[in-house]
C-alpha cells in the first residue's frame, strides 16, 4: 500500500453542495487537512456559502462563521481578538473568500487585516469570476475569458482587461507568508498550509480553483486543467516568506498556453493573435517571477510581526 502523502483526516464532510468536479471544494478539503480541527473559518457570500449546506447542516468539521461578502478581513481580525481574549491561542483563524469577495469588494478589509498584522490566514480561492451568482466577470477574471457579463457576441470578445494581480497587492503589505496553491498538486498544497500554520502573523493563500460550469469544461477534467495551469505558467506555484520568493514547482520549460486554453469553452472564441498575446503575457510573468526569485528580498524590515493587540497577555504568538 502506498504511503499517504497528505493527512488522512477529513474535515470537509461528504454531502456538501458543490458542483461535481468543484475545485473550490477540493481546496477546502486540502486546506483543512493541513490546518486541523482547532480552526475557525469565516466565509463570506461565495460558492462556499452554499457548498456548506443549509441549516441545520454544515459541511465542515470545524467552526464556521458566515459573514457578508466584503468584510472577511475584518471578521477574522475579530475572531483572532476573541480567541486571544478567551485564552485560546492555539486556534488557527482562517478567512476563506472567493476572488470577487477578495480582489474586488473585499479588498479594503483584506488590506486592513494585513496592515494591522492580524494573526490569521486569508485564503482567496480563485475560480476567476462570480460563480455563485452565475459566472459574472470579476477583477480576477483573466483577459479574453467569456463570462455572462463579458459575452462573446457582437463586439464582445470576452473580458477585455487583464487579471488583477492579487499577490502583488498582498505582498505590498509584507505578510509573513504568502503562497500560491493548486489542488492539482496536493502535496505542495498541504506542505504550504502546514508551513504557514507555524508562522504567526498575517498570511495569505491564493488558491487556484477550476470551475467546470463557469470555465466550460467537463467535471472530470478539473485536476488536469489545474495541472496545465501551473505547467503552462498561467498559475505558477511559489511562496514568499519574509520577503523571499521561492518557486515551488520548477519548470525547465513551459508547456504552450494553448494546451490550457483549448480545454476550456470560455476561451473557445479566441483568435490566434489573441492566444499569442496571452502566451506572451504568461511568458513575461514567468520570467518576472524567476527574476524576483533570483534577486532576493527587498531591503528593510520585512516582518513587522504580529498585531500588537493590547491586552493582559503579551501579543499572542501561536502555533497555528
Q: Scanning residues 145 to 184, which ones bind other proteins (CB under 8 A)?
A: 183
The answer to whether residue 193 forms part of the interface with other proteins (CB under 8 A) is no
- For other proteins, which stretch binds (CB under 8 A), given 159-167, 172-180, 253-261, 305-313? 305-313
Mark 277-301 as b/e (b = at least 16 C-beta within 10 Å).
ebbebbeebbeebbebeeeeeeeee
The answer to whether residue 68 forms part of the interface with other proteins (CB under 8 A) is yes
CA angle centred on 238, ends 43 and 12, rounded to 5°: 35
Backbone angles phi, psi at 214, to 5 degrees: -80, -30
Residues numbered 1-20 forming contacts with other proteins, rule: CB under 8 A? 1-2, 4-6, 8, 10, 12-20
Sign of the C-alpha dihedral computed for residues 82, 85, 86 and 92 taken in this order: positive
Residues numbered 119-138 forming contacts with other proteins, rule: CB under 8 A? 132, 134
Three-class SS state of 69 = coil
Residues numbered 242-301 forming contacts with other proteins, rule: CB under 8 A? none
Pick the closest to residue 248 from 240, 258, 237, 256 (CA basis). Answer: 237
Q: Give how many residues touch other proteins by CB under 8 A.
A: 86
Please say which residue, 76 or 167, places its beta carbon nearer to other proteins. Answer: 76
The answer to whether residue 84 forms part of the interface with other proteins (CB under 8 A) is yes
Rg (CA), the chain: 19
Distance, in Å, from the CA atom of 142 to the CA atom of 163, rounded to the nearest integer, reads 5
Please say which residue, 90 or 287, places its beta carbon nearer to other proteins. Answer: 90
Please say which residue, 110 or 278, places its beta carbon nearer to other proteins. Answer: 110
Q: Going by DSSP bridges, is the β-strand pair 121-126/92-98 parallel, antiparallel, or unpaired?
A: parallel
- For other proteins, which stretch binds (CB under 8 A), given 51-59, 199-207, 235-243, 244-252? 51-59
In the set 195, 213, 286, 293, which binds other proteins (CB under 8 A)? 213
Please say which residue, 134 or 198, places its beta carbon nearer to other proteins. Answer: 134
- Cα atoms in the Cβ-side hemisphere of radius 13 Å centred on 20: 6
Amino acid at each position: 500500500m502506498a504511503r499517504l502523502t497528505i493527512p488522512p483526516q477529513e474535515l470537509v464532510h461528504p454531502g456538501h453542495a458543490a458542483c461535481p468536479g468543484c475545485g473550490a471544494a477540493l481546496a477546502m478539503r486540502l486546506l483543512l487537512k493541513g490546518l486541523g480541527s482547532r480552526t475557525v473559518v469565516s466565509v463570506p457570500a461565495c460558492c462556499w456559502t452554499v457548498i456548506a449546506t443549509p441549516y441545520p447542516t454544515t459541511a465542515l468539521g470545524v467552526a464556521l462563521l458566515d459573514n457578508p461578502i466584503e468584510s472577511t478581513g475584518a471578521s477574522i481580525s475579530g475572531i483572532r481578538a476573541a480567541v486571544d481574549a478567551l485564552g485560546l491561542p492555539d486556534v488557527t483563524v482562517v478567512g476563506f473568500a472567493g476572488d470577487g469577495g477578495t480582489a474586488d469588494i473585499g479588498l479594503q478589509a483584506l488590506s486592513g487585516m494585513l496592515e494591522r498584522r492580524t494573526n490569521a490566514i486569508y485564503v482567496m480561492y480563485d475560480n476567476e469570476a462570480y460563480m455563485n451568482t452565475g459566472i459574472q466577470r470579476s477583477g480576477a477574471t483573466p483577459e479574453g475569458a467569456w463570462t455572462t457579463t463579458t459575452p462573446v457576441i457582437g463586439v464582445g470578445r470576452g473580458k477585455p482587461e487583464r487579471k488583477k494581480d492579487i499577490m502583488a497587492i498582498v505582498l505590498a503589505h509584507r505578510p509573513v507568508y504568502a503562497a500560491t496553491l493548486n489542488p492539482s498538486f496536493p502535496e505542495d498544497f498541504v506542505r504550504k498550509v502546514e508551513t504557514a500554520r507555524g508562522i504567526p502573523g498575517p498570511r495569505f493563500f491564493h488558491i487556484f480553483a477550476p470551475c467546470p460550469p463557469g470555465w466550460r469544461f467537463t467535471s472530470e477534467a478539473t485536476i488536469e486543467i489545474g495541472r496545465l495551469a501551473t505547467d503552462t505558467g498561467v498559475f505558477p506555484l511559489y511562496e514568499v516568506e519574509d520577503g523571499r520568493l521561492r518557486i515551488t514547482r520548477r519548470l525547465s520549460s513551459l508547456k504552450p498556453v494553448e494546451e490550457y486554453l483549448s480545454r476550456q469553452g470560455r476561451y473557445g472564441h479566441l483568435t490566434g493573435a489573441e492566444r499569442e498575446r496571452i502566451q506572451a503575457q504568461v511568458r513575461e510573468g514567468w520570467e518576472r517571477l524567476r527574476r524576483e526569485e533570483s534577486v532576493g528580498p527587498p531591503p528593510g524590515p520585512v516582518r513587522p510581526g504580529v498585531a500588537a493587540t493590547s491586552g493582559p497577555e503579551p501579543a499572542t504568538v501561536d502555533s497555528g
